[in-house]
Amino acid sequence: MTSPLDALHVRHVLGDRPFAEVGGPVLTESDEARGLLAVAGEPGFAGAATVGVYGAGDLGCRAVLRARFPVHALAFHPTAPLLAVGTGAYDGGYFFEGELLLLDWETGATTSLIEPPFGREVLGLTWLDEQALRVLMAPPDDWKDRKAYVEGHLAVVRRADWRALAPGSVTGADLAGPRVPAPRTDGRDEARRVLLALSPGWEPRRHVLAVEQLSDGAVLATLDQDEEDPERPDRTALADGLLLRYRTTGDADRHDRLRIRHGSRDYVDEVLHQRRGPEQRLLSVRSPEGDGVQPLFPFSWEPGETHFPGPGAETDGGDLVHAGTVYHGHGLQPGGSFVVRRAAADGAPRWVFRTDHIATDLDVDRDTAYVAYRNGALLALALHDGTVRRHHRLTVAGVPAVPTALTVTGPGHLLVGTSDGRVLECEFA
């Protein structure tokens, strides 16, 4: 019997290219003895900064790491299959936060080593030998410290077996060290030079916003474009029948149009600001003339909860299947992300599926709802009751990928856009 976790087959990768995983590079580090190259990318989809480990010969990706903060330092362990990664940023008000991450590029496992809650912004890393790692860090904060942005602390962390370290096992005592100059360097130009020398046709791309199959069989992908990016052509033909369109995502207006596939009407998220109490969010439809909106029902079906909308689709019978999140002052809580099927007449939920991760896109066919998530999961839910039919962790050539757009092209057949600008032709068994 086929396992639900092994039920998705990636038949073709469109728009593939070397170093696709990292986006715009900010730093590189080579291990010539083992023929490896580590590349760190700038923060991209959902604010994550990606680090990839590549073979210097074939440029194939061996492993990836996704960090919460910008990456400042990379260092290969002298003998073990480990890459130390230093990250961090100023929080805008007091602390220099960050992480010391350890990527096992054989297994793909990542460990965050510094004890919580704030960590340290790590600026530099050097392996002195197999057991000693020299760490350069920003000061913990800038309180009455004018030189906090040009100086830091230097420490040497020693461990007998770095592959056996537990999360949070590097303490403040391990990181105590003298104050030294710590200039903040920018490695972007050098990183781009390295990648272009290895792959002259290389170019960075941001995440796929939407993907569709055209009537002639070609695939059209809309990619996010940073406002500071140079102007790009409306369409660019690529290999494998993939066409790209670039779009800069801007601020939403008061009546924010919702991405509801197969919609018979133009659905909008209407926000009602009240003098007393929290704002209300209504699922509404725009009038055919475009001169107003008509409320259908509140987004939240639970008293006391505020629901934020996500992607959705309309079924053949007019019901809505849409994703969303439950607002909480401390961020997304366990079970705070949902997919719901709602009756067309009054919005009553026919079923609700909850999880801990935010959905990035959703589409339906006659009997299945397909959902993509930020944690790399692709789910197939039964359309009649919301039960899980298939659950898959998306990978490309064995390396984890993040789905950001999804379109059903036939029963069990999907086009999946990724956070690194590629499109996968997939099939659920």
CA 124/CA 74 separation, integer angstroms: 8
Which pair of structure tokens corresponds to residue 361? 């896109």
Which pair of structure tokens corresponds to residue 292? 């107003």
CA distances from 377 to 5, 88, 358, 414 (A): 10, 27, 10, 14
CA 119/CA 302 separation, integer angstroms: 37
28-73 pLDDT, tens per residue?
Answer: 999 999 999 999 999 999 999 999 999 999 999 999 999 999 999 9
Domain regions of the chain by residue span: 20-198, 208-428
310-321 pLDDT, tens per residue?
Answer: 999 999 999 999
CATH of domain 208-428: 2.40.128.630
pTM: 0.90
220-255 pLDDT, tens per residue?
Answer: 999 998 766 655 655 676 767 788 888 876 544 444
CB neighbourhood size of 259 (10 A)? 17
Q: Positive or negative, the Cα torsion across 192, 196, 202, 203?
A: positive
User: CA 402, 407, 411 angle in degrees (round to 5)?
Assistant: 115
CB neighbourhood size of 194 (10 A)? 19
> Top-level CATH class of 20-198?
mainly beta
pLDDT(414) > 90: yes
Long-range CB pairs of 238-247 (<8 Å, 24+ gap) are: 238/14, 238/15, 240/12, 240/14, 240/15, 241/14, 241/217, 242/14, 242/15, 242/218, 242/423, 243/214, 243/218, 243/219, 244/15, 244/205, 244/220, 245/220, 245/221, 246/222, 247/209, 247/222, 247/223
Residue 197: in which H helix or E strand, if any?
Answer: helix 188-198
Q: What is the pLDDT of residue 237?
A: 67
255-274 pLDDT, tens per residue?
Answer: 478 889 999 989 988 887 66
